């Protein structure tokens, strides 16, 4: 099996595994490999996805929640990397308030090793919460407004007080969030934000 895989590119092997379909939504156009982190780049740590899925995974702020109804099928895929990506995307949908995603995740049984891998890509449940200026807990996908003018280092602009920042992400530091202002993804001190 090893030799057989090595004789092909990862992309060819993935296309063969998936039957030339996006392993998440089933689309057949614009397919390319995507590493499921932490990945060693092998077939077992990669999936093949269409441009729509890839774009929304790489930039969660563009996530079209209805597109991801496809996970209700693809979460049953036998391949661990597909299960892992489905798990993570369902988790992201839950953070956006999609209750159907919670129902799907509740049904999904993963092998313990696979579940451990899936959770590596998620915010740590034991981590300290991220608070806004009013001590409200912030979560990925929330919208916030800035409570003071912030000089954005390196980007050469000031994010004005009152600016709405949609679809924030959390960081490994509970005092920092990330969000897009003026088209730039910037790190913002969470205490300078108010949940919108
Ligand atoms: Zn797709």
**Domain termination site, one of 102, 120, 138:** 120
Q: What's the pLDDT score for residue 172?
A: 81
Residue 137 and residue 112 share a domain: no
With respect to residue 3, please indicate whether it lies within any of the assigned structural domains. Answer: no
Domain boundary among 120, 152, 169: 120
Q: Is 30 found in the same domain as 108?
A: yes
48 C-alpha to center of ligand 1: Å?
Answer: 9
CATH number of the domain enclosing 145: 2.30.30.40
Instruction: Judge whether 38 lies within some domain.
Output: yes
Number of folded domains that form the chain: 2
pTM exceeds 0.75: no
Q: Tell me: the pLDDT tens digits for 31-82?
A: 999 999 888 889 999 999 999 999 999 988 899 999 999 999 999 999 999 9
Instruction: Report the separation in Å between the CA atom of 72 and the middle of ligand 1, taken as the mean of its atom positions.
Output: 13
Q: Are residues 173 and 135 both part of a single domain?
A: yes
Buried b or exposed e, range 118-140, using 16+ CB within 10 angstroms: bbebebeeeeeebbbbeeeebbb
Q: Do 94 and 145 share a domain, yes or no? A: no
User: Ligand 1 centroid vs 65 CA: distance in angstroms?
Assistant: 13
Range of the domain at 136: 130-195
**pLDDT beyond 70 at 92:** yes
Contact 84, 117 (CB under 8 A): yes
Mean predicted confidence (pLDDT) in 3-29: 86
Q: How many Å lie between the centroid of ligand 1 and the Cα of residue 54?
A: 7
Within a domain: 2:
no
How many whole angstroms from 151 Cα to the centroid of ligand 1? 38
Q: What is the pLDDT of residue 1?
A: 41
Which of the four pLDDT bands, split at 50, 70 and 90, describes residue 126? low
pLDDT tens-digit readout, 152-179: 877 788 999 999 999 999 888 889 999 9
């Amino acid at each position: 099996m090893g030799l057989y895989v090595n004789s092909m590119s990862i992309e060819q092997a993935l296309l063969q595994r998936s039957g030339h379909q996006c392993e998440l939504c089933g689309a057949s156009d614009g397919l390319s490999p995507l590493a499921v982190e932490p990945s060693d780049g092998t077939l077992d740590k990669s999936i093949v996805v269409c441009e729509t899925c890839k774009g929304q995974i790489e930039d969660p702020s563009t996530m079209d929640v209805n597109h991801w109804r496809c996970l209700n099928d693809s979460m049953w895929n036998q391949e661990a990397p597909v299960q892992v990506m489905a798990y993570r995307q369902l988790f992201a949908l839950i953070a956006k308030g999609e209750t159907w995603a919670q129902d799907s995740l509740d049904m999904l049984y993963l092998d313990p090793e696979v579940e451990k891998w899936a959770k590596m890509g998620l915010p740590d449940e034991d981590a300290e919460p991220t608070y806004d200026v009013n001590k409200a807990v912030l979560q990925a996908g929330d919208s916030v407004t800035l409570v003071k003018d912030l000089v954005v280092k390196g980007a050469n602009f000031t994010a004005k007080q009152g600016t709405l920042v949609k679809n924030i992400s959390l960081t490994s530091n509970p005092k920092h969030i990330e969000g897009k202002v003026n088209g730039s993804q910037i790190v913002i001190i969470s205490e300078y934000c108010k949940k919108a």
